[in-house]
Chains A and B, each alone.
Chain A
């Protein structure tokens, strides 16, 4: 596949901004999202930035941003367009019940269908979303497409029809080579996303945004998971000072029950 014309598809999830103090809804069925600041998943921002940089290096052609969700996802896509993307695809999911149980398997199936249509040479996703921390969509997508996958990528260089990848793993850094097309998931140190400047923000308003219905794609969005209850984590209690070793042992044994 000729690298210069290579299409790149990137997923952009709209999530509650990382700095927001998330609260559980009184009915304990989920978290409060009304009136709460949302923004693009930080790892997806990094994915968007990487794609734009590849294009600046003339290693990519058309850049397509994809988001699945209610109409507000349009804002998320405009951010990607303002950062330099050419086109956006908004997979509309307007039913809040369906959206609430949307999971990586659904999303990866949607992406697989879009990939079939658009035929990108590279799909870059954030490694995980900061709201559910699933870290599954990229891997599932690669499985569905039977494509190579390079997850937790902290360095990416495209060379013709393959890419050299450095991955962040528990033991350190792993270097691999994958043939394209491939799915890459972006880790924190891959890059630092740029600010979208005003002239580009203005231009983004005019860039095309296609709306797609998931049923058109033939993807079944029935829930695979039932949310039983959502609760706040237990309140962190203050630390306690003890006066001597005997008291320490006593409390570790009888209160904390750890020895």
Chain B
């Protein structure tokens, strides 16, 4: 009956992810694709002409380009924006937003469009404001490690540039070939180096942001320490484009390690994974840079769908229960290798590690990382993947996987857990049939409830965007959420920046 009152919207033949939440009354409410806010203006020819004056030849209305800009990387949601704008400078962004503010035109900031929660694409006809042409690297200081660049710089390009001056970005993601630093900052991207170099909240030293009304907010700095009033830039980091459009970033970059090692280890139980983590923190200390884990199901998926073979397949030819991938970063090749070797020898002798290998060269390093980085790709072949990116205490960490497996194992293709165990961040993937929508709703509810009970985070890294709005209250109190909405109203009174995202 509710189905009649809330018609499901099909876009491009794909149904939007349906989030359901169960308020304490017990009644099921589906929060679907939000209705278009009637207070927003609609793009007119006059608007297009005015945009053309601000950014000549960079007002895109061609259907082919808009087609791909309207849909996210996961192909999970599609909007119908008719205009894509590509400013090159902060001034242009300012003029654009001033105009949008005047005309009440909704805007969706878009970086590399690699987000996983539908936060970077329009829901309806929001103007897409792209950082693609804002890709200048402004300066880099080799001594302090501070990089200043525009928000549209692609991470991989920054990595290459920084490499020449012996620096690296403090974060690294699978999407690095496409993601923009502005988007990474707006989503507080975590990634594979988090364990060693920490959060963007610590590494971003300054920002330049354009607010909803076009006002330029200069929070730029190259200073490490600056206790002068409220640290406003922290608000924008992780704000998912809802409080302002980031135009320039000042980022603290660590020195590029000259010695990198990768070890791939097999352990018997998750308790052993945790013990190994503790041991690695002291045994490898400051050279420990990444500590990832993969369960047997994920390894099996990678072997089956990507035709890679578990590097530790022994003569009994079986898969191990858990795998751990460790990376070290240091500056003394001999010292690091010896330290790693000694620690591995101890771990094997004590029986904590069943088997393992150390990459002999870069080729093997890249090859070993594949077993962790391509799990997503592998399981995609098997069906529709429900992905949960959660944070939990180490006690609860793997229990959510076993609980999900117990409850749903029989009715799904696969339940697998893998991820940044060193950061307490788990990627839980459940592969179902494409058609099993009700099952996925139950699954969502089950996992989110479980995480709430365990006082975990329902979104460790990926953010809220469109898809997880229904679960924000699982991890944040209503007082907190109300304050967030107040802040949003303060920065964006007419709500034109990335509407329909973050909050219900």
Interface residues in chain A, defined as those with a beta carbon under 8 Å from any beta carbon in chain B: 17-21, 35, 37, 39-40, 42, 45, 79, 194-199, 201-202
- The smallest C-beta distance from A133 to any residue of chain B, in angstroms, reads 18
Identify the closest chain B residue to A197 (Cβ). B357
Residues of B within 8 A of A18 (CB): 361-363
Say yes or no: B311 contacts A195, CB within 8 Å: yes
| A-B pairs with lowest CB-CB distance, top 9 | A39-B361, A19-B362, A195-B357, A195-B311, A198-B356, A197-B357, A79-B360, A17-B362, A17-B361
Q: Given A35-B333, A197-B312, 14 more contacts at CB 8 Å?
A: A17-B361, A18-B363, A19-B366, A37-B260, A37-B361, A39-B361, A195-B359, A195-B360, A195-B364, A195-B368, A197-B357, A198-B265, A202-B345, A202-B348
A198/B353 contact (C-beta < 8 A), A35-B333, A37-B333 known: yes
B89 within 8 A of A: no
Chain A CB within 8 A of B314 CB: yes
A19 adjacent to B363 (CB under 8 Å): yes
In the complex, the answer to whether B361 meets A198 with C-beta atoms within 8 Å is no
Compute how far the CA of A40 lies from the CA of B264 in the bound complex, rounded to whole angstroms. 20
| Interchain residue pairs with CB less than 8 A apart (17) | A17-B361, A18-B362, A19-B362, A39-B360, A39-B361, A40-B361, A42-B363, A45-B361, A194-B311, A195-B264, A195-B360, A196-B357, A196-B358, A198-B344, A198-B355, A199-B355, A202-B345
Q: Which residues of B contact A (CB under 8 A)?
A: 163, 258-260, 264-265, 311-312, 314, 333, 341, 344-345, 348, 353, 355-364, 366, 368
Tell me the minimal C-beta distance from B410 to chain A in angstroms: 35
With the chains together, A35 CA to B358 CA distance in Å?
20
Q: Name A78's closest neighbour in chain B (CB-CB).
A: B360
Chain B residue with the shortest CB-CB distance to A83: B360
The residue that B357 contacts in the complex, of A35, A39, A40, A198, with Cβ under 8 A, is A198
Of the candidates A37, A194, A199, the one whose C-beta lies within 8 Å of that of B362 is A37
| Shortest Cβ distance from A42 into B: residue | B363
Given contacts A35-B333, A37-B259, contact A197 B355 (CB under 8 A): yes
| B259 partner residues in chain A, CB cutoff 8 A | 37
Closest to B258 in A: A35
Docked CA distance A40–B363 (Å): 11
Complex: A201 Cα to B258 Cα, angstroms: 23
Docked Cα-Cα span, A42 to B353, in Å, equals 28
Cα distance, A39 to B311, chains bound together (Å): 19
List residues of chain B with CB within 8 A of the CB of A195. Answer: 264, 311-312, 357, 359-360, 364, 368
How far apart are the CA atoms of A19 and B341 in the complex, in Å? 23
Instruction: Give bound CA distance, A194 to B361, whole Å.
Output: 12
**In this complex, what residue of A is CB-closest to B309?**
A192
For the complex formed, measure the closest distance between the CB of A39 and the CB atoms of chain B, giving whole angstroms.
3
Give complex CA distance A42, B366 in Å. Answer: 14
Contacts of A20 in B (CB 8 A): 362
Note all chain B residues with C-beta closer than 8 A to A39: 360-362
CB of B300 to closest CB in A, whole Å:
18
**Complex Cα–Cα for A195 and B363 (A):** 11
B312 partner residues in chain A, CB cutoff 8 A: 195, 197
Determine the distance from Cα of A198 to Cα of B345 in the docked complex, in whole angstroms: 8
Determine whether the beta carbon of B355 is less than 8 Å from that of A40. no
Report Cα–Cα, A194/B313, bound state, in Å. Answer: 10
- Taking CB atoms, residues of chain A closer than 8 Å to B356 are 197-198
Which of chain A's residues have a CB closer than 8 A to the CB of B348? 198-199, 202
Name the distance in Å between A215's Cβ and chain B's nearest Cβ: 29
Residues on A with C-beta less than 8 A from B360 are 39-40, 45, 79, 195-196
Which residue of B265, B333, B366 has the most chain A CB atoms within 10 A of its CB atom?
A: B333
Chain B residues with Cβ under 8 A from A194's Cβ? 311
Residues in B neighbouring A201, C-beta threshold 8 A: 341, 344, 357-358
Q: How far is the CA of A159 from the CA of B450 in the complex (A)?
A: 62
